[in-house]
Amino acid sequence: MNETFGIPVTPDHVLMGSEAQSKRALLTEMAGMLTSMDPDLVLEVIMAREQLGSTGMGHGVAIPHGRMKALNGPVVAVAIHEQGLDFDAIDDALVHIVVMLLVPDDDSKVHLELLAKLARLLQQDAVRTQLRQAKDAEAVVMLLLGK
Amino acid sequence: MNIIVLGAGEVGFHIAMRLAAEGHDIAVVDSDKERIQRVSDTMDVRTVLGNAAHPSILASAGAENCDLLIAATASDETNMLACQVAHSLFKVTTKMARVREPDFANCKALFGRDEMPIDLIISPEREAAKAIVKRYQVASAMDAQAFAGDRVQLLGMMIRPKSALAGIALSELPEVMGKNRVYVVAHEHNRRWRVPKPNAVLLAGDSVYLAAANSEVSAIVELLEGGKQEKNLKRNVMVVGGGNVGFAVAKELEQTGVSIKLIEYNKERASWVADQLKSTIVMHGDALDRDLLEEESIEHMDDFLALTNDDETNILSSLIARKYKVPHVVTLVNRAIYSDLVREIGLDVIVSPRFTTAASILCHVRKGRILGMSPLGDGTLEVVEAEALATAMILDAPLKSLKLPKDTVIGAVVRGEEVIIPNGETVILPHDLVVLVSRAESIREIERLFEVRLEFF
């Protein structure tokens, strides 16, 4: 792969082998990984956005996202869920790849571009397959950075 | 959605049934074996027997995966505690609790993210009191519901033979109404409620719901009913029942300066109510005692509000009031089975706290920003109030080219302070509030119109 996706994610924000049984339980677990933030608040923001319309974009991918005050730059967390979860996605398919995106609460268009970039990336079959087969967190990070 | 309903009483049972029918994953918890049995006999839900606030019980009801907790047991304390447990131990995001005791419910500082974590306090009695006061204000209407922060009203009216609406087709409505704009969103003929088509003809004896700007309501009522509406000021009101509902209604009505007589059966409660209220005359007695009613000059009453906890007393005393030709009678009915019956025997204004409560809970299960929902007519139709957010499907196209579900009409659009009674050319913009009426079974499709797309931040 020679394209650089530049999705800013670190291995400690990657959740592998989660046994969560529901969308909400998985999102709770993911919020718990973001140690620098209030996990309850993250969950609240993410669930409030989900309430307006599911971010399950089809093909087993969801990109839950939201704005958080007092954030300096975008924060990304990733979960790969083997069994798949009901995310109320637009194609009703189970979701295996969840990329959570939190951005500062400002008017910047950069956030929307990052979201669009993520969506474009995850629309590719090859990327999805590689993500689901990734053997550890480092491999997931490398894939999303596009190195 | 994964939803836990605590308590399988009248409110909990009804909500669980409704949510299960819509395909949600429901668990019902109750400490009473018979009630739990009744739930598992009637609907496809998981049931758990036990104390609803206990961590282990909540865990076995699936609190870990739960999106929404509805605490509707008979005990305020259990409900509030269950919300706290669900929050602290299971991180349940949305929590609602039925809280009856006004001492708790009115204490706003008690609830919040960092206080007692309850997102919505459900008080069927308070909801009913609100609905009753609303209806009282438009006395000649059989129903009045406010939407969009009181800017829009839906007026339910029976068309009298001399009414300006009798015998006209909906397409002729603008001529009849002149500068007062209204939209007929529901039409009852031969006891069947429908969302009317433009060629529908309104006949005397039919009932309709009209959407109108709040500021034009009195002009509209005047136009349709003929003559000035009496002002509230000199009205004589008799309230039966000094329980939570009756007390709240009397307290609210006192502020409008009407003269109120309240009859309460329980002696201690009667003297408590008398202490709390200012101008209301409180009597201890039985509302079914005709001598008492006559002594209190029931025949001179303008309004009779039967608001006890007991449906039978409410229905019977309302019939007595009818006998004495009280022009405006409101009957509080709790049990579903009576709601239909009551209309049959000629009482037309009925408030069911169960209905109003279920509606306000159901809003929170909807996708998109659905701000309010409530049943209309016989309950087959539903009013929905929603905010049109950026990227939603309902935006940016004239209504005539919008694919709305069958039997759906948009009755009013509120843009800032402006109320727009729409036509086919109206276009909905982001942040408009939309008041629409549809069939209850089309609600999922309505939700989709307001759902935001992925790119919404």
Contact across the interface for A47 and B67, Cβ inside 8 Å = yes
Q: Is B129 domain-assigned? A: no
CATH number, domain at A127?
Answer: 3.40.930.10
B34-91 confidence digits (pLDDT tens)? 999 999 999 999 999 999 999 999 999 999 999 999 999 999 999 999 999 999 999 9
| Region B272-280 average pLDDT | 94
For A36-59, the pLDDT digits (tens) are: 899 989 999 999 999 999 999 999
User: Which among B89, B110, B85 has a CA at the least distance from the CA of B6?
Assistant: B85
CA distance B137 to B336: 25
Chain B partners within 8 Å of A49 (Cβ): 456-457
Q: What CATH number is associated with residue B252?
A: 3.40.50.720
Task: For B370, name the nearest residue in chain A, comparing CA atoms only.
Answer: A52
- CA of A136: how far to CAs of A5, A20, B29, in Å? 19, 18, 41
The vertex-B424 CA angle with B421 and B429, nearest 5°, equals 70
Does A24 sit within 8 Å of B66, measured CB to CB? yes
State yes or no: pLDDT of A62 exceeds 70. yes
Between CA B378 and CA B339, with CA B17 as vertex, the angle to 5 degrees is: 30
- If asked whether residues B363 and B418 sit together in one domain, one would say yes
**B107: which residues sit within 8 A by CB, 6+ positions away?**
none
In terms of domains, do B346 and B367 share one? no
Judged on CB neighbours under 10 Å (0-12, 13-18, 19+), A83 is: exposed
Task: Choose one of B354, B374, B399: the last residue of a domain.
Answer: B354
A21 contacts on B by Cβ (under 8 Å) = 64-65
What DSSP line would sit under chain A, residue for residue? ----------GGGEEES----SHHHHHHHHHHH-TTS-HHHHHHHHHHHHHHS--EEETTEE--EEEETT-SS-EEEEEEEEEEE----TT-PPEEEEEEEEEESS--THHHHHHHHHHHHHT-HHHHHHHHH--SHHHHHHHHHT-
Q: CATH number, domain at B162?
A: 3.30.70.1450
> Does residue A103 carry a pLDDT above 90?
yes
How many separate domains does chain A show?
1
Cβ of residue B88 closer than 8 Å to a chain A Cβ: no
What pLDDT was estimated at residue B232?
45
Q: Which residue of A has its CA nearest to B390?
A: A52
Identify which has the larger pLDDT, B351 or B443: B443
**A127 or B379, higher pLDDT:** A127
B134 assigned to some structural domain: no
pLDDT of residue B222: 82
Strands B192-194, B183-189: pairing kind:
antiparallel
One domain, residues B263 and B304? yes
In a domain, A5, yes or no: no
- Which residues of chain A make contact with B94, given a CB cutoff of 8 A? 47
Chain A residues 56-115 with a CB less than 8 Å from chain B: 57, 63, 65-67, 88, 103, 111-112, 115
pLDDT digits (tens, 9 = 90+) for A66-80: 999 888 889 999 999
Residues of B in contact with A33 (CB under 8 A): none
SS3 of residue B322 by DSSP: helix
Q: What is the pLDDT of residue B227?
A: 57
Name the minimum distance, in Å, from the CA of B456 to any CA of chain A: 9
Q: Hey, what are B129's tokens?
A: 């009191």
In a domain, B146, yes or no: yes
Give the gap in angstroms from C-alpha A120 to the nearest C-alpha of chain B. 12
Pairing of strands B143-147, B192-194: unpaired
Residue B181 structural domain: 140-225
Q: Are B112 and B188 members of one domain? A: no
B274, B289: one domain: yes
Tens digit of pLDDT for each residue in B187-217? 999 888 899 998 899 999 898 999 999 999 8
Flag if A43 and B91 touch (Cβ within 8 Å): yes
Q: Residues B414, B416, B420, B425: is their CA dihedral positive or negative?
A: negative
Higher pLDDT, A5 or A1: A5
Alpha helices in B116-266 (DSSP H): 124-137, 173-177, 217-225, 244-254
Q: What pLDDT, on a 0 to 100 scale, did the predictor assign at position A147? A: 60
CB B304 within 8 A of CB B293: no
Q: Which pLDDT score is estimated for B150?
A: 86
Query: CB distance A24–B456 less than 8 Å?
Result: no
Residue B134 reports pLDDT greater than 80: no
Q: What is the pLDDT of residues B154-166, one digit of tens each?
A: 988 888 888 889 9
What's the domain count of chain B? 4
Distance CA B286, CA B311 (A): 14
CA distances for B283 relative to A63, A127, B303, angstroms: 63, 77, 17
> Which residues does residue B238 pair with via DSSP β-bridges, in sequence order?
B261, B304
Q: Let me know how long chain B is.
A: 457
User: Does residue B382 sit within a domain?
Assistant: yes
Q: What is the DSSP string of B11-55?
A: HHHHHHHHHHHTT-EEEEEES-HHHHHHHHHHSS-EEEES-TT-H
Residue in A59, A138, A125, A139 with CA at minimum distance from that of residue A98: A59
pLDDT in tens, B220-236: 888 887 655 555 457 89
B233-264 residue pLDDT tens? 578 999 999 998 899 999 988 988 889 999 99
Could you tell me if A17 lies within 8 Å of chain B, comparing CB atoms? Answer: no
Chain B hits for A115, CB-CB cut-off 8 Å, are 454-455, 457
- B279 domain residue, yes or no: yes
Q: Which residue of B has its CA nearest to A27?
A: B65
> Minimal Cα–Cα distance from A57 to chain B, Å?
7
> Cβ of A115 and B454 within 8 Å?
yes
Average pLDDT, chain B: 89
pLDDT in the model for residue B335: 75
Pair (B156, B188) in one structural domain: yes
User: Of the candidates B225, B253, B276, which is a domain's last residue?
Assistant: B225
Question: Do residues B298 and B385 share a domain?
Answer: no
Write out the residue range of the structural domain in which residue A44 sits: 11-136
For residue B401, the Cα-to-chain-centroid distance in whole angstroms is 32
Nearest by CB to residue B451, choosing from A43, A47, A53, is A53
What is the arithmetic mean of pLDDT over B2-6? 96
Q: Look at residue A95 in the predicted model and tell me its pLDDT.
A: 96
Q: CB-based contact (8 Å) between A18 and chain B?
A: no
- Check whether B317 has a pLDDT greater than 90: yes
Same domain? For B388 and B377 the reply is: yes
Q: Note whether residue A87 is domain-resident.
A: yes
Residue where a domain stops, chosen among B59, B93, B122? B122
Residue A38 in any domain: the answer is yes
Q: In what order do the strands lie in the sheet with B192-194?
A: B143-147, B152-158, B207-213, B183-189, B192-194
Q: First CA to last CA across chain A, in angstroms?
A: 7
Is-catalytic flag, A96? no
Mean pLDDT confidence for B102-114: 87
Residue B65 is nearest to which of A22, A115, A116, comparing CB atoms? A22
Average pLDDT over residues B327-351: 76
B368 inside 8 A of chain A by CB: yes
In B, minimum Cα distance to A40 occurs at B91
Contact, A121 vs A83, CB < 8 A? no
* Residue appearing with tokens 């003809």: B201
DSSP string spanning B434-450?
A: EEEEEEGGGHHHHHHHH
State the sign of the Cα–Cα–Cα–Cα dihedral A83, A85, A86, A88: negative
Q: What angle do CA A17, A20, A22 make, to 5 degrees?
A: 140
More confident residue, B318 or B357: B318
Rounded CA separation A6/A18 (Å): 25
Mutate to test the interface with A, among B67, B91, B367 (most CBs of A within 10 A): B91
Inter-chain residue contact A24 with B93, CB threshold 8 Å:
yes
Residues of chain A neighbouring B451 (CB-CB closer than 8 A): 52-54
The single-letter DSSP state of residue B401 is G
